[in-house]
Amino acid sequence: MKILFVVSEVLPFSKTGGLADVASALPAALAGLGHEVKVVTPAYASVRAAKPEPLGVPLSLSFPAGTFHSELLSVSHGPNHQVLFLAQDALYDRPGIYGEGPWPYADNALRYAFLSVGALSAAQALGFAPDIVHLNDWQTGLAALALLRGYGDTPLGRARSVFTLHNLAYQGWFPKEQMDVLGLPWELFTPDGLEFYDQLNFLKAGVVWADALTTVSPTYARDIQTPEGGEGLHGLLRERAGALTGILNGIDTTTWNPATDVHLPARFHAGDLAGKAECRRALLSRFGLPAEAEGPLFVCISRMAAQKGMDLVLEVMPGLLSRSNARLVVLGSGDPELETAFRVLASRFPGQVGLQLGYDESLSHLVEAGGDFFLMPSRFEPCGLNQMYSLAYGCVPVVRSVGGLSDTVVDLSQPDGTGIRFDAFSAPAFERAVERAMALHADSTALEAVRRRGMVRDFSWGRSARAYEALYRRLVGTT
Ligand code: ADP
Ligand code: GLC
């Protein structure tokens, strides 16, 4: 099949979260199954380092706000997998992706309407007639609508659309005046269309008009049909339940494999964990923490956002650090208030807490490899990749039982346990989970058995890619 995959961030060119990991690994896995995949994404300033090749294909898109000229750049990852960048400097050549610091760019509605329509025009200009247009998150929602309304009598008219919800907390809400800026017809500004509490909602365009909906874990697919997890859209999602499936993400086992990882000072695998001890020493020394001390090393790598439950880490860890020889290493960035609170924690516990604020891909590998326990007490979690990286790296995950965390981590109380789970989003519940980690750490035989069980679990993309392939085939009617 020919697949047009539209997405707002793609590793290694741009990334703010797990979406970028998926946008690189899923198309690669689909190409590996023999499909032809073209990924379309903006040419942000960060893309320049990869020196993408200009294709000499000009595009012009007109909105009431003006006509925007663009050209296509490309990087090939093999014969079946090409990444196409929409170059439009006024919209995308900026230091940030969605904004700078906590401030989103004021013209994000136009920037992502441009991506949505530009991706379809790009396919048309290249003579690429996809069977499937696979859209991701609010940034691409309008493409589902545009495909139905604007391309019916073109070669794209036969394409079926799939819209994947990676995170319902971000819906692309804009003042309704943007309808005029983008030239959207007002008859679509209704509760069963683009309107959401008197605002324009990009995500709804995908939810309403895509042929199929997917989300990134089976549990999250259920969570979002409830008032607690639906972020205001549970009613609409229930109406479309017949079109919605949960397909668990995989992880890219070529970059996330402790036996071959180029970012590590020593490598290891389930059969020989000696290299892990060396990574642990390197990690402690990288953060200026004493390498010889006993006691468990807890780690976190996270966007600092309410979703991730970092407030529970801040509430529970000071007590634990005061009464034990545990240590904590945190790598993260985001909400300035959370960042400040972690700075305060680090200055209160020198020698026990290591902190790096900012984004560091290479360091994130060492943190997984060196850590004993990975803390992920999320309020909600569509899938989550870090707990799977942790399992692969023998860093036992301590997770809240929500969304993809429930689908990937088996609690210690089970014979095939790979981690520690807790239910209530509360400090006492998280504290009990962390105490269970302390107890496990004190029993080195049990700890090693749990580690090894996690390390041999298979989370590679193959199975998920085949699930998407089966969905695509159902949509195009070839099964
Ligand atoms: P989300 O997309 O909600 O942030 P995921 O667990 O799906 O959560 O994906 C997060 C991704 O971002 C992982 O690849 C993780 O390693 C990475 N990540 C998050 N924060 C940082 C950071 N500060 N430095 C390096 N990598 C980070
Ligand atoms: C979102 C979710 C995360 C998921 C990622 C990739 O960022 O927050 O749980 O793993 O998308 O699908």
292-307 tens-digit pLDDT: 778 999 999 999 999 9
How confident is the model at residue 153, as a pLDDT?
87
Please, which pLDDT band fits residue 479 given cuts at 50, 70 and 90?
low
Q: What is the mean pLDDT of residues 97-108?
A: 93
Cβ atoms of 163 and 213 within 8 Å: the answer is yes
Q: In the predicted model, what is the mean pLDDT of residues 269-290? A: 96
Of the candidates 225, 232, 362, which has an alpha carbon nearest to the alpha carbon of residue 286? Answer: 362
Residue range 360-366: mean pLDDT, rounded: 97
pLDDT of residue 241: 98
Asked if 211 and 243 count as a contact pair (C-beta separation under 8 A), the reply is yes
Distance 300 CA to ligand 1 centre (A): 10
Gap from CA of 224 to ligand 2 centroid (Å) = 14
73 CA from centroid of ligand 1 (Å):
27
**Tally of CB atoms within 10 A around 175:** 11
Domains of the chain, start order? 2-250+462-476 (3.40.50.2000), 274-458 (3.40.50.2000)
> What pLDDT sits at residue 26?
97
What is the position in ligand 1's atom list of the atom closest to the CA of 331? Answer: 23
pLDDT at 230: 97
Q: How many alpha carbons lie under 13 Å from residue 256 in its C-beta half-sphere?
A: 26
Q: Which amino acid is at 55?
A: L
Judge whether residue 220 has pLDDT over 80.
Answer: yes
Q: Is 255 in the pocket of ligand 1 (CB under 6 A)?
A: no
Confirm or reject: Cβ of 22 under 6 Å from ligand 2: yes
Q: Band the pLDDT of 65: cuts 50, 70, 90.
A: confident
Ligand 2 center from residue 17 Cα (angstroms): 7
Which ligand has an atom closest to residue 302 CA? 1
Residues 40 and 143: beta-carbon distance below 8 Å = no
- Please determine, for residue 161, whether its predicted confidence score (pLDDT) is greater than 80: yes
CA of 166 to the centre of ligand 2 (A): 5
Q: Which atom of ligand 2 lies at the shortest distance from residue 378's CA?
A: 9
Q: How far is CA 284 from CA 151, 281, 330, 373, in A?
A: 56, 5, 12, 14
Ligand 2 atom nearest to 403, measured from its CA: 9
Residue whose CA is at the smallest distance from ligand 2 atom 10? 384
Residue 18 Cα to ligand 2 middle (Å): 5
Tell which residue, 93, 90, 88, has the closest CA to residue 60. Answer: 88
CA distance 45 to 87: 10
Residue with tokens 């545009």: 146
With a 6 Å cutoff on the Cβ, whether 384 touches ligand 2 is yes
- Which amino acid belongs to residue 193? G
Q: Which element (helix H / strand E) includes 441?
A: helix 427-442
For residues 35 and 69, is the Cβ–Cβ distance under 8 A? no
Tell me the whole-structure pTM to 2 decimals: 0.96
